[in-house]
């Protein structure tokens, strides 16, 4: 009876919130029901009452973070709202290093779950509002989703490497560009030509430019 009372006092939302905190601090390996019970100062029975296993807990944490990222006010043009959605997801993946791999799991293993449909619905509504042919909606929405999570995942991976290595981003990029500028111009003319652009680029601006390139292609289909 005491266990039931404790389970009722502890909400699923608080459990998921604590799980996200542990994931952010220590990654997926750092999230166990033991560490979670210690964080919440409760017994395992109270947690199992709400979340039966780690897989469901990871799915719930992923859904919570994605839900916050997709909370975009419907106040601008479809193009502007896609920008806001894309940046929200980009920032979420960067702020939660564990999220990228969990999104990949959700999209490939459980496309009917709570995460993938919400992502496609949020992006797809804005794509359809662009006035492009309905026959292109799936491909256009997929292209945006793949770009968003590919670019966000790579950016997050880069940031994680820099954090773990204690390396400054500007110094890292500068060293890479210096190496590119030293390449054989006969074999690597392109890399040498863009070296200065890489040295000065901003990750978020580059990301949004990519979104604009895709949206320009999408909307061009509506004019053909």
Q: Are 180 and 198 in contact (CB under 8 A)?
A: yes
Is the predicted pLDDT of residue 115 greater than 50, yes or no? Answer: yes
pTM for the full model? 0.85
Angle at 98 between CA 96 and CA 100, to 5 degrees: 90
The structural domains of the chain, with segments of one domain joined by +, span 1-52, 73-221
Provide the pLDDT confidence category of residue 133 given band limits of 50, 70 and 90: very high
Lowest-pLDDT range of 27-36, 103-112, 125-134: 103-112
Return the half-sphere exposure (C-beta side, CA atoms, 13 A cut-off) of residue 224: 8
Mean pLDDT of 114-137: 93
Is the predicted pLDDT of residue 6 greater than 70, yes or no? Answer: no
The whole-angstrom distance between residue 40's C-alpha and the CA centroid of its chain comes to: 27
Q: Please state which CATH class domain 73-221 belongs to.
A: mainly alpha
Is the predicted pLDDT of residue 73 greater than 70, yes or no? Answer: yes
Backbone angles phi, psi at 114, to 5 degrees: -80, -20
Q: Are 127 and 140 in contact (CB under 8 A)?
A: yes
Cα dist from 154 to 158, 161, 201, whole Å: 6, 11, 15
Is the predicted pLDDT of residue 224 greater than 80, yes or no? Answer: no
Q: Is 1-52 a domain of CATH 1.10.1790.20?
A: no
Provide the pLDDT confidence category of residue 135 given band limits of 50, 70 and 90: very high
Mean pLDDT of 174-194: 92
Q: How far apart are CA 30 and CA 170, in angstroms?
A: 30
Whole-number pLDDT of residue 166: 80
Burial grade of 187 (CB within 10 A; 0-12, 13-18, 19 or more): exposed
1-52 and 73-221 in the same fold: no
pLDDT digits (tens, 9 = 90+) for 7-55: 445 889 999 999 999 999 999 999 999 999 999 998 888 888 899 999 9
């Amino acid at each position: 009876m005491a266990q039931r009372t404790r389970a009722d006092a502890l909400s699923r939302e608080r459990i998921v919130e604590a799980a996200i905190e542990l994931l952010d601090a220590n990654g997926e390996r750092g999230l166990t029901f033991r560490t979670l019970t210690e964080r919440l100062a409760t017994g395992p029975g109270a947690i199992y009452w709400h979340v039966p296993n780690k897989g469901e807990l990871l799915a719930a944490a992923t859904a919570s973070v994605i839900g916050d990222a997709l909370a975009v006010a419907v106040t601008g043009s479809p193009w502007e709202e896609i920008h806001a959605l894309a940046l929200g997801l980009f920032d979420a993946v960067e702020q939660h290093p564990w999220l990228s791999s969990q999104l990949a799991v959700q999209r490939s293993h459980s496309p009917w779950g709570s995460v993938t449909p919400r992502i496609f619905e949020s992006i797809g509504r804005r794509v359809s509002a662009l006035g492009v042919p309905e026959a292109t909606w799936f491909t256009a929405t997929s292209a945006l989703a793949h770009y968003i999570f590919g670019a966000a995942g790579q950016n997050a991976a880069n940031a994680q490497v820099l954090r773990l290595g204690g390396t400054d981003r500007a110094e890292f990029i500068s060293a890479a560009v210096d190496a590119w500028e030293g390449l054989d111009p006969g074999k690597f003319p392109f890399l040498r030509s863009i070296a200065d652009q890489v040295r000065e680029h901003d990750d978020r601006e580059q990301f949004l430019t990519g979104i604009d390139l895709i949206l320009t292609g999408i909307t061009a289909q509506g004019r053909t």
